[in-house]
Amino acid sequence: MKQKSLSFKLNISIIILLSLIILAGCYTIFMINKTQNFAKETGESWLPSVLVTSEMSDGVSKYARRILGLLSTSLINSGEEEKKVLAEDIKKLDHYTENLNKTLEKYKKFVTNTEEQSIFENVVVKWKAYDSASREAIAINKQGKKADAIKHVLSKGRKAVAELEEAIQKLGKYNYEGGIKSTQKGADLTTITNITMTSIILSSVLISLFIFQIIRSTTGSLNNAIDNLKNQSVSTSEIASSLKNGSQILTDSIAEQASSIHETSAAINEITSMVNRTTENAKESNTIATNASNKTESGQITMKKLVYAMETIQDSNKELQNIADIINQINSKTAVINDIVSKTELLSLNASIESARAGEYGKGFAVVAEEVGNLAKVSGKSAQEIQELITSSQEQVNKILGLTMERVEEGKKVTAEAQKSFQQISEDISTMSSVIQQISDATREQEIGVRQISTAMSNIDKATQKSQIAVQSSSESSIDLVSQSEKLSAVAKNLELLIKGSALA
């Protein structure tokens, strides 16, 4: 007879336990869905129906009170006041009627069977009868038969409203009882689910106890095997410690070697960077030299402009000098004319005075004096024209002076540009010297980088020697570890036989 393995026993027990859990889960989901359906029916059908029924009852009460209020108001008031109040009450009554009709229409979607349909249709019929009786009473009241209208309401209307309220109560009772039944069905399903789940839980506990017993029965044998494994683990631990030390040495050596390699790479990168810098500095020196040459040529052109501007200023000064001479000549002539005019006017005045003294004999002389005066006026006019000519000449002189000032400013600007160009040339030459110095520094740094490469390579050689020693130590430890592993393998086989069972009894 074959001995069943531990894994077989455990697998069978777990499969049974999982089957019970899955069965319990499926059954629980099914029962929860059933219970949910009853709860949904109660929440979405029965309870809303009860609420709408309550709204019907409330609407009927408001309608009835409004009818009585309307007829009472008609008794109290009369004439136009009665018509006004009656119209308002009828308007409110129509509003209540519309609300009741909407409530009845709202209830239609909750009807689920023929019995409920029959009860609901009875409510509709009773409502129409009551509304008809009330409208008849209003019509009688409008004819002026107020007492007959009240009697009609008390006789026919009271009976109709009583029947309507009874029908609404019956409909509400039907929905209330339906909700109670639906809730009770859900509660019954919950009770059945609780009983079933309790049974499944108890079965699961029994199976778990069986699994626990199987594990417990094999604990003793497993403990012995574990003790043997512990003994072997001690030996293996010692060997592993030796390997660990060797590995640590090897790790340190490799780390040192990696560090040296890193330094070598960094030094090479530094050399490359410095070479690049040298190349860039050379290019920059060439560019700066070219710029310096160009700026020197620009300075020469600027100086030529300066010479030309100065020559132009000189020509302008000559023109200004000529005009100044002309103005001086005009001033001299104007002074002579003004002197003649003054003397002529004085002589004319004296001649007029003397001719006046001579009386009849001086008339001819007076004519001459008058002509002389006219001549003086003409001379004065000419003097005025000459004065205007002088003014025009002065304006021309001012214009030339302005032009001269502009050209002088231009000369200053050109001179400043020349100074700036030569200043920039000086700065570029200074920069070129600095760049050349940087090239020299970069060359020295390259030499240092080469030395670092040599040192790093020496460190790599030393680290390699240490790595060889560590590898040899690890090899010797590995031989001992193989021997101990064989013993540990035998123990593992015994443990496997214990767990899986023997092939034959």
- In the chain, where are the structural domains located? 6-205, 222-500
According to the model, what pLDDT value does residue 482 have? 62
Listed in order, strand segments (DSSP E) in 175-254 are none
The answer on pLDDT for 503 being more than 60 is no
455-to-65, 109, 260, 265, 460 alpha-carbon distances in Å = 114, 96, 9, 12, 9
Can you say how many angstroms the Cα of residue 76 is from the centroid of all Cα atoms in its chain?
72
Q: Which of 19-28, 157-166, 289-298, 444-453 has the lowest mean pLDDT?
A: 444-453
Can you say how many angstroms the Cα of residue 317 is from the centroid of all Cα atoms in its chain?
73
Q: Which of 12-21, 52-61, 388-397, 447-456 has the lowest mean pLDDT?
A: 447-456
Q: Which of 183-192, 281-290, 474-483 has the lowest mean pLDDT?
A: 474-483
Tell me the range of 18-27, 229-238, 270-279, 356-365 where mean pLDDT is highest: 18-27
According to the model, what pLDDT value does residue 275 have? 63
Which residues fall within 8 angstroms of residue 62, CB to CB, at 6 or more apart? 96
Q: What is the CA radius of gyration of the chain?
A: 66
Rounded mean pLDDT, 73-78: 71
Which residues fall within 8 angstroms of residue 372, CB to CB, at 6 or more apart? 344, 347, 348, 351
Instruction: Using a pLDDT cut of 70, give the percent of the chain over it.
Output: 66
Which residues fall within 8 angstroms of residue 467, CB to CB, at 6 or more apart? 250, 253, 254, 257
Helix-helix angle 47-76:114-142, to 10 degrees: 10
| Domain 222-500: which CATH number of 3.90.1570, 1.20.120, 1.10.287, 1.10.3470 | 1.10.287
According to the model, what pLDDT value does residue 127 have? 92
According to the model, what pLDDT value does residue 289 have? 67
Superfamily of the domain at 6-205: Aspartate receptor, ligand-binding domain (1.20.120.30)
The answer on pLDDT for 62 being more than 60 is yes
Rounded mean pLDDT, 453-465: 66
Residue by residue, DSSP assigns 237-283 as HHHHHHHHHHHHHHHHHHHHHHHHHHHHHHHHHHHHHHHHHHHHHHH
According to the model, what pLDDT value does residue 122 have? 92
Q: Which strand (E) or helix (H) includes residue 27?
A: helix 6-41
- Give 3's DSSP letter: P
The answer on pLDDT for 29 being more than 50 is yes
According to the model, what pLDDT value does residue 247 have? 65
Phi, psi for 109 (deg, rounded to 5): -75, -10
Closest CA to 65 of 169, 174, 161: 161
The answer on pLDDT for 312 being more than 70 is yes
Domains 6-205 and 222-500 share a fold: no
The answer to whether 266 and 420 are in contact (CB under 8 A) is no
Q: How confident is the model at residue 188 (pLDDT cuts 50, 70, 90)?
A: confident
* Residues found in the chain: 505
Burial of 335 (0-12, 13-18, 19+ CB in 10 A): exposed
Angle among Cα 289, 290, 292 to the nearest 5 degrees reads 65
Q: How confident is the model at residue 55 (pLDDT cuts 50, 70, 90)?
A: confident
According to the model, what pLDDT value does residue 505 have? 41
According to the model, what pLDDT value does residue 1 have? 45
According to the model, what pLDDT value does residue 428 have? 72
Closest CA to 134 of 204, 77, 60, 199: 60
Rounded mean pLDDT, 25-29: 82
In a 3-state reduction of DSSP, which class is residue 95? Answer: helix
